[in-house]
Amino acid sequence: MIPAEAGTSAVVLDRVTVAYGKNRALQEVSAVFPRGAVGLLGPNGAGKSTMLKSLLGFIKPSAGSMRVLGLDVASQPLEIRARLGYMPENDAHIPGMNAVTFVAYCAQLAGLPQADAMQRAHEVLYYVGLGEARYRNVETYSTGMKQRIKLAQALVHDPDLLFLDEPTNGMDPKGREEMLELVRDIAHNKGISLILSSHLLPDVEYTCDHVVVMDKGRVATYGSIDELKGPAGRVYEVRIKGELHKFIAALEAQGIECHETDEDIMRVFVPASHAAGEARRVFELAAAQGVQVRHLRPSLPTLEDVFAKAIGEA
C-alpha cells in the first residue's frame, strides 16, 4: 500500500513487477522515494538498475504503476524525462564529440535553445571539474573524467530529479571524494532531488538522507537513514574463542541479533528491552555456552548494520 506522503514524493512505485522472460527482476515492488537525496542500496542483481530503467521508461513493467514527480510514467514519459537527469552506470557518450559539444548537444536534446545550451555546457563542465578539459574529445577521457561528464550531461538541462547509477564506479579515492562532494552539494544546496543507486554503503551514507534497500527484486527496507540506524538498542563488536555457531544460536534465542563480519569480529545487536545490563548478558551467555569473550567493545550503528539486517530479513 502506498503511504499518504506519496503525493509530495519524488518517486512512487505501486506493486511494480518487471520480468525478463521467466526471471522476475522486480517483484510487486511498492516504495516511496521522498524529495532530497535517497540512496538505492542492494547487492548486485537486486533490481536497482532495473528500477531506474523502468522509471525512465526504458523497460515496461508487466504489472503495477509508477509516478515520478507526480507524473505517470506510462502516460507522460516525455514530460518526466524533461525534468529528469540520468547518469548511466556504464560508459556512455556521443561518439566523435568534444566535451563541451557533447554536453551542449545533450542540453539541446532536452529542449534548450542552442545559445543557452552552449552557455550551460560551459557552466556545468566547470562545476563538475572538467573546465580545463572541455575541448578534449570525450573518448580520450580517463574513467574518472568519463564519470564526471556523465554527471554533466545529466545536469545540463537543470533537472528537478537526478538518477545516478553507481556514480563513483572506477574512480580513484580522490576523484571519488570529489564526486561524492558534488553529489552532496547537488542534493543539499542546489535544490535537486536525487536517487543514488549504489552498492557502496559509505557513498550512500555520506550523500543521502533516506535509503531504500533492495534484495532479490523486493524492497527489503526503506526510510530515513537516521531512523533506520535508530537508537532502538546497542551494538557491540564481539570476538570469542569457542564454538561460534552455538554461541550465535544462544544469543538469537535471547532475541539478540548477530552478524558475522569479514574478520573474526561479529556485530551483536542488543535490543532496547535488554538495555539494562546488556553487556553482562552477553558475558553470561558466553559463560553458559563455554566460550571465552576475547573482545567486547560498544560500537555505533552504521548503514552497514541496517543493510545487513534488511538483507538478512528479506
57 belongs to the binding site for another protein (CB under 8 A): yes
Alpha carbon 289 to its chain centroid, in Å, reads 40
Q: Judged by CB under 8 A, which stretch of 19-27, 64-72, 211-219, 256-264 contacts another protein?
A: 19-27
Query: What sign for the dihedral angle of Cα 272, 275, 281, 283?
Result: positive
Do residues 10 and 80 make contact, with C-beta atoms less than 8 angstroms apart?
Answer: no
Residue 149: all three cell numbers together: 561528464
Give the shortest CB-95-to-another protein separation in angstroms: 5
Give the shortest CB-77-to-another protein separation in angstroms: 8
Residue of the chain from 27, 30, 64, 116 that contacts another protein (CB under 8 A):
116
Residue 140: all three cell numbers together: 580520450
DSSP labels, 277-300: THHHHHHHHHHHHT-EEEEEEEE-
Altogether, the residues listed in the chain come to a count of: 314
Angle at 276 between CA 270 and CA 282, to 5 degrees: 50
Closest CA to 256 of 241, 235, 242: 235
Residue closer to another protein by CB (options 153, 221) is 153
Q: Judged by CB under 8 A, which stretch of 4-12, 85-93, 245-253, 277-285 contacts another protein?
A: 85-93
110 belongs to the binding site for another protein (CB under 8 A): yes
113 belongs to the binding site for another protein (CB under 8 A): yes
Neighbours of 144 (CB within 10 A): 19
CA distance 202 to 205: 5
CA distance 108 to 77: 18
Residue of the chain from 43, 191, 230, 242 that contacts another protein (CB under 8 A):
191
Residue closer to another protein by CB (options 25, 32) is 25
The dihedral over CA atoms of 94, 100, 105, 106, expressed in degrees to the nearest 10, equals 80
Give the shortest CB-224-to-another protein separation in angstroms: 22
**Residue corresponding to grid cell 569457542:** 242
Give the shortest CB-308-to-another protein separation in angstroms: 26
131 belongs to the binding site for another protein (CB under 8 A): yes
Residue of the chain from 1, 4, 44, 78 that contacts another protein (CB under 8 A):
78
Residue of the chain from 14, 91, 209, 237 that contacts another protein (CB under 8 A):
91
155 belongs to the binding site for another protein (CB under 8 A): yes
Give the shortest CB-153-to-another protein separation in angstroms: 6
Do residues 40 and 214 make contact, with C-beta atoms less than 8 angstroms apart?
Answer: yes
Residue of the chain from 8, 90, 140, 143 that contacts another protein (CB under 8 A):
90
> Which 226-245 residues touch another protein, going by CB under 8 A?
none
Alpha carbon 19 to its chain centroid, in Å, reads 22
Q: Judged by CB under 8 A, which stretch of 40-48, 116-124, 267-275, 304-312 contacts another protein?
A: 116-124
> Which 161-190 residues touch another protein, going by CB under 8 A?
174, 177-178, 180-182, 185-186, 190
Neighbours of 60 (CB within 10 A): 9
Q: Which residues of this chain interact with another protein, rule CB under 8 A? A: 20-23, 53, 56-59, 78-79, 81-82, 84-86, 88, 90-97, 105-106, 108-113, 116, 120, 123-124, 126-129, 131, 153-155, 157-158, 174, 177-178, 180-182, 185-186, 190-191
